[in-house]
Amino acid sequence: MSDPSPTPYDVTLCVEELRAALALHGIKLPSLSVHLPSFAARYGESAGLVTLGNCNMATARALAGVLKKAAGEG
């Protein structure tokens, strides 16, 4: 389930979780980060996007979960 309005800190934790899950498979993505402009929107709730195809936190967490499970960590 995605957070209704994640904070930059929430998304940073999510990015670190995804980075750790990718590392379990020997994958490093130097460009993986918080998409800060997604917090600047004034027309709705903050999206809190992760710059991996600009996926949202729910997608990033699902991906991290699958990667951890595949590595026997989850």
CA distance 59 to 41: 20
> Is residue 15 within 8 Å of 55, Cβ to Cβ?
no
pTM of the model: 0.64
pLDDT, tens digit only, all 74 positions of the chain: 455 678 888 888 988 998 899 899 888 887 788 877 777 665 556 566 666 666 778 888 888 899 889 988 76
